[in-house]
Amino acid sequence: MKFLDLAKVYLRSGSGGNGSVSFRREKFVEFGGPDGGDGGKGGDVIAEAVEGLNTLIDFRYQQHFFAQNGKGGQGSQRTGAGGDDIILRVPVGTEIIDEDEETVIADLTEPGQKIVLAQGGNGGWGNMRFASSTNRAPARANPGQPGVERTVWLRLKLIADAGLLGMPNAGKSTFLAATSNARPKIADYPFTTLVPNLGVVGIDGAEFVVADIPGLIEGASEGRGLGDQFLGHVERSRVLLHLIDGTSEDVAADCETIINELEQYGGDLADKPRITVLNKIDALDDEEREERRASLEEVAEGPVMLMSGATREGVTEVLRALRAIIEEARAAEKTEAEEVKPWRP
């Protein structure tokens, strides 16, 4: 299945049905009068987050979504049938953005969340609604309200506990393949990873989700390389795992490049907890390992772990460090949710 994380869709809700003008005229019925029913309500356009989806590819082939119109009212006080709603099923983590590409209408981060994007028009009143003591036989009815037309953008931001960052060929895909059930493409050339990958990682009986995005280069925030279009997929993560190629000529410069791109991207991405790892240490001797670790610690402003995704040396320690931060963040989120939970007697 192809990966698509941005789609433009055109929506139109259903128009309400017209009210009816009708009079009751029956033999042996002493009192007649108006009995025109109301029109039915038009259908809504609704977006719903569902499990089991991780791409917006369906919206490449269908971009127009029109809800059904309501039916007109009829005599004998019969209300017209309401129009059927139309539901856009989107992956969990989808942002719905207005046509200006800036205003966020909704952020669907949990399965089952719904939002009405275009409300159907109300049905018009039938003539029996206009009967009064001074107007016993009204010959008027209201038309139904028209539906709403709008254009919105769907932008998917994958939900993962940990996000992988690094230059091209830093070993992110190798790490993901070695520690999870994901099978990303692995090769010895830059930009092997072209789309984000998700993998479920298990360590000491606990599981968490890791997202691997294409490698970043200097100037990515300005659109160079694959640009920063995929950084949104690690925005929601609780911790960032920054992998640095230990065989690079200047590991400190590589580290600075990624940190700078995080800061240029904006938001709180640069402030997220981050674990810095010197990868591919199987290609380094002990002296080179310590020399490059010391160089990195000055730039990363914190401890640097050593790992080889290919030989799995140091992988367990890195996974345990990730798990500790993730579990701490989950506990804090749970406590915060309980504090804002309304009290009920």
Q: Is 280 annotated as a binding residue?
A: yes
pLDDT tens digit sequence for 153-183:
998 887 778 888 888 777 777 888 888 765 5
Over range 205-211, report the average pLDDT. Answer: 82
Q: Please tell me whether 194 is known to bind a ligand.
A: yes
**pLDDT at position 18:** 94
pLDDT of residue 89: 92
Residue 169 marked as a ligand binder: yes
Model pLDDT, residue 181: 66
Q: Does residue 187 or residue 80 have the better pLDDT?
A: 80
User: How does pLDDT run across 81-128, given as a tens digit for each residue?
Assistant: 999 999 999 988 888 999 988 888 988 888 899 999 999 999 999 998
Separation between Cα atoms, residue 163 and residue 241, nearest integer Å? 6
Q: What is the pLDDT of residues 221-264, one digit of tens each?
A: 444 544 456 677 777 788 888 888 888 888 888 888 888 878 88
Which of the 8 DSSP states describes residue 284?
Answer: S
Mean predicted confidence (pLDDT) in 171-197: 62
pLDDT value of residue 285: 87
Residue 217: the pLDDT is 57
Residue 132 marked in a binding site: no
pLDDT of residue 81: 92
Separation in Å, CA 306 to CA 242, 292, 322, 329: 12, 10, 14, 24
pLDDT at 185: 47
Measure the CA–CA gap between 320 and 326, rounded to whole angstroms: 10
* 167 marked as binding residue: yes
Q: How far is CA 66 from CA 50, 94, 125, 212, 336, in A?
A: 20, 21, 24, 36, 40
Find the DSSP H helices in the chain.
Answer: 58-61, 172-179, 251-265, 286-300, 315-340
The span from the CA of 288 to the CA of 250, in Å, is 12
Percent of the chain with pLDDT over 70: 86
DSSP string, 108-163: E-STT-EEEEEPPPPPPPPGGGG--SS-SS----PPPPPPPEEEEEEEE----SEE
Q: What is the pLDDT of residues 295-307, one digit of tens each?
A: 888 888 778 889 8
Cα–Cα distance measured from residue 17 to residue 336, given in angstroms and rounded to the nearest whole number: 47
| 309 annotated among ligand-binding-site residues | yes
Query: Where residue 194 falls among pLDDT bands split at 50, 70, 90?
Result: low
Instruction: Confirm or deny that 54 is annotated as ligand binding.
Output: no
Question: Is 181 labeled as ligand-binding?
Answer: no
C-alpha 322/C-alpha 200 separation (Å) is 13
Under 8 Å CB-to-CB from 29, ≥6 apart: which residues?
none
How many whole angstroms separate alpha carbon 121 and alpha carbon 132?
A: 26
User: What pLDDT shows up at residue 189?
Assistant: 38
90 assigned ligand-binding residue? no
Q: Please list, in sequence order, all residues whose beta carbon lies within 8 angstroms of the beta carbon of residue 46, skipping any fewer than 6 positions away.
A: 85, 86, 87, 88, 114, 115, 116, 117
Domains and CATH numbers, the chain: 6-156 (2.70.210.12), 162-340 (3.40.50.300)
β pairing state of 114-118 and 45-50 = antiparallel
pLDDT for position 239: 87
Residue 282 marked ligand-binding: yes
**Residues 26-71: pLDDT tens digits?**
777 677 788 899 999 999 999 999 987 878 888 888 999 999 999 9
Which phi and psi angles does 180 have, rounded to 5°? Answer: -140, -175
Q: Quick one: which H or E segment has residue 152?
A: strand 149-156
Residue 166, annotated as binding a ligand:
yes
Any binding-site annotation on 232?
no
190 labelled binding-site residue: no
According to the annotation, is 20 in a ligand binding site?
no
Confirm whether residue 139 is marked as ligand binding: no
**Is 134 labelled as part of a ligand binding site?**
no
Tell whether residue 310 is among the known ligand binding residues: yes
Most confident stretch, 20-24, 301-305, 341-345: 20-24
219 is in an annotated binding site: no
Residue whose pair of structure tokens reads 């579990």 in the numeric block: 327
Q: Is 212 annotated to bind ligand?
A: yes
Is 195 annotated to bind a ligand? Reply is: yes
Would the annotation count 171 as a binding residue? Answer: yes
**Greatest C-alpha distance within the chain:** 109
The pLDDT mean for the chain works out to 82
Q: Is 36 annotated as a binding residue?
A: no
Do the bridges between strand 64-66 and strand 6-12 make them parallel or antiparallel, or are there none, so unpaired?
A: parallel
